[in-house]
Amino acid sequence: MSLGAGPEAGFSSEELLTLRFPLHRACRDGDLPALCALLQSSPRSDLAAEDSFYGWTPIHWAAHFGKLECLMQLVRAGASVNASTTRFAQTPAHIAAFGGHPQCLNWLIQVGANINKQDYVGETPIHKAARSGSMDSISALVAHGAQIENISLSSIHLCVPGELFSISYDVIQFLCIVQLEKCQWPDSSRPCTYPGLPRMCPVSLEPPELSPESFL
């Protein structure tokens, strides 16, 4: 059968994932038996292979979908907990934090994940956790010494094409308490005294609406 102009023509994304990136698919599905079988038969270089969809390695897929057992097996097989993607310089900790998987995040930290690593826009995992509103992930990161000195509303209230990200009231409150600063919540009449936040900045109390593509 002709594949057309390119080697991927004629296949669906699901078929390509199965054919070209079986480790990634096993991590997505949390298919531990399949993953273990693949790890025994695949070259070690496959652990660092980036897919053609998101540019993630298998450990990034496991982190995004919260598959803790898959994370464990990958690391035992030699995957790096600090694997950084070529395109966006994001680690599994960035992905787990944004996905709101504190159990995966805690385990990654325990086995040596760098929780203060910056991605290509200068964000660390705690930025990702704050942007997704994952209080459990924020708590896990702070408990393990994540640097929050540079976390502010202005740094994680970002406009990107088609989306507006803002952190929630609870996230601001938590960060203010951790910083041991008295914070008056921004509204139309009161300034925020937290030094990292801009004055007189409006804050939505609604949960942030996030796109599945919003990892940048």
If we measure between CA atoms, which residue out of 126, 190, 132 comes closest to residue 152?
Answer: 126
If we measure between CA atoms, which residue out of 174, 168, 170, 167 comes closest to residue 148?
Answer: 174
Under CATH, which number does the domain 13-147 receive?
Answer: 1.25.40.20
Task: Give the dihedral sign, CA 107/60/39/86.
Answer: negative
143 or 2: whose pLDDT is higher?
143
Instruction: Enumerate residues 6+ apart whose C-beta is below 8 A from 7.
Output: none
149 or 72: whose pLDDT is higher?
72
pLDDT(16) > 50: yes
Residues 189-206: tens digit of each pLDDT:
444 433 333 332 333 333
Q: Give the pLDDT of residue 130.
A: 85
pLDDT(101) > 80: yes
pLDDT confidence tier of residue 70, bands split at 50, 70 and 90:
very high
132 or 186: whose pLDDT is higher?
132
pTM over 0.75: no
Residues 126-146: tens digit of each pLDDT:
989 888 888 889 889 988 888
Contact by Cβ (8 Å): 96, 108:
yes
Centre a 10 Å sphere on the Cβ of residue 41 and count the other Cβ atoms it contains.
Answer: 8
Exposure pattern of 118-155 as b/e (b: 16+ CB <10 Å)? Answer: bbeeebbbbbbbbbbbbbebbbbbbeeebebeebbbeb
Within the chain, all domains assigned CATH 1.25.40.20 are found at 13-147
Q: Give the pLDDT of residue 9.
A: 55
If we measure between CA atoms, which residue out of 175, 180, 177, 183 comes closest to residue 199?
Answer: 183
CA dihedral 37, 53, 59, 33 (to 10 degrees): -20
pLDDT confidence tier of residue 8, bands split at 50, 70 and 90:
low
Q: Give the pLDDT of residue 35.
A: 97
- Percent helix, strand and coil across the chain, each to the nearest 5: 45, 0, 55
Q: Give the pLDDT of residue 53.
A: 86
Please give the Cα distance from 117 to 108 (Å, whole number): 13
Please give the Cα distance from 50 to 48 (Å, whole number): 6
